[in-house]
A = this chain, B = another copy of it.
């Protein structure tokens, strides 16, 4: 078969590395045309040596390594020969190349949920205009997508599962003194730092609800969240007749990554762990008490306002998570820090992607500025 020509944005991060694990498992299936990364120059060089992309982009200075030519990430994401762009970046700065890929009508496998939170409505409209296709890579939206595949009647309800994050079962008040190290210990998933902290605050679950709202064009009222500690059922869909479909598997990001890479086909991969119902033993569900985890309601309340509100939310959260990881605010300060930035935001309601980028950047800067003076806590 012809090799699928792909570009990976954020190739040295958690999802980027796992994407290359899948690529490695299928020699001859993919041609890696471009790799874009941040500051992890050593790893990027090794990736270039192994996958021999024609183009690279890096925050650090790297050009001509093993024949790979430096180009702007936006250019790499919209090269005419590229069939699929995997967006494995984290945070608001990933927007530029995502937008370039969308406007170039590419198939975009999207693991960066911040960009959809920032400007989901506008991005989906631009994708419609350009003919671009957005495929979810995040495990929960991927599960929803797999469950609706082939269904002719619109779904009645999406039920997103939530592990509950690092501090499930604990009260918000008891988290006053938790350290970044504690918050970075996710019970079921191995992921990057930003998303792991967002999982602990449940901000990440709110972001998934927002992502789901736009990727699948479904109203917020038809999206539920349920606590499911085992992270085996990745999400469920209830249909008009009351029948429910669930997608299951061991928590391993390579599953949803591979599904997006090969969609609509599925390929055998002996490297991936299998679901064994008997070993799993039991799958549990609990209601999510959002009053205990203030970020969830905070995020959705602002996201539902539309305009540049969700972009400011994403920008403020990004800074708040950084401030926590840098020891400048407490874990339990995160919702107040985000809320205080949002309280100062002047929204643009009829907004462009550029407005969203500016709102996010404004919120990030303001959040840093308000809390980076003085000594760490």
Binding site for B on A (CB under 8 A): 146-147, 149-153, 156, 159, 226, 228, 233, 236, 238-249, 255, 258-259, 262, 264-269, 272-275, 277-278, 280-287
Interface centre among A149, A238, A241, A283 (most CB of B within 10 A): A241
| A151 CB contact (under 8 Å) in B150, B153, B275 | B150
Among B226, B255, B273, B278, the residue within 8 A (CB) of A285 is: B278
Are A245 and B244 in contact, with the CB atoms below 8 A?
A: no
Number of copies: 2
Is A241 a contact of B255 with CB atoms below 8 Å?
Answer: yes
A221 to chain B: closest CB distance in Å? 16
Q: In the assembled complex, which residues on chain B have CB atoms less than 8 Å from the CB atom of A280?
A: 285
CB <8 Å contact, A246 and B249: no
**Contacting A266 at CB < 8 Å: which of B151, B247, B269?**
B151
> Which chain B positions have C-beta within 8 A of A153?
265-267
The interface centre, meaning the residue of A266, A275, A277 with most chain B CB atoms within 10 A of its CB, is A277
**For the complex of A and B, 5 pairs with smallest distance between CB atoms:** A150-B150, A277-B285, A153-B266, A244-B248, A149-B150
With A150-B151, A265-B153 in contact, do A241 and B258 touch (Cβ < 8 Å)?
yes
Q: Is A245's CB under 8 angstroms from B248's CB?
A: yes
Beta-carbon contact of A284 and B282 below 8 Å: yes
Chain B residues near A239: list those with CB within 8 A: 266
Residue of B nearest to A246 (CB): B246
Bound-complex Cα distance A238 to B283 (A): 17
Partner of A275, one of B242, B259, B262, B264: B242
- Give Cα distance in the complex from A265 to B152, angstroms: 6
Q: Is the CB of A281 within 8 A of B278?
A: no
Flag if A277 contacts B226 (CB, 8 Å): yes
Q: Are B226 and A242 in contact (CB under 8 A)?
A: no
State A236–B146 Cα separation when bound (angstroms): 14
In the complex, which residues of chain B have a beta carbon less than 8 angstroms from the beta carbon of A238? Answer: 274-275
Give the chain B neighbours of A147 by CB distance below 8 A. Answer: 245
Q: B236, B259, B264, B269: which contacts A152 (Cβ < 8 A)? A: B264
A283 and B286 within 8 A (CB) = no
A245 and B245 within 8 A (CB): yes
The answer, among B242, B281, B287, for a CB contact under 8 Å with A269, is B242
Which residue on B lies nearest to A285, using beta carbons? B277
CB neighbours (8 Å) of A267 from chain B are 153, 240-241
- A278 contacts B226, CB within 8 Å? yes
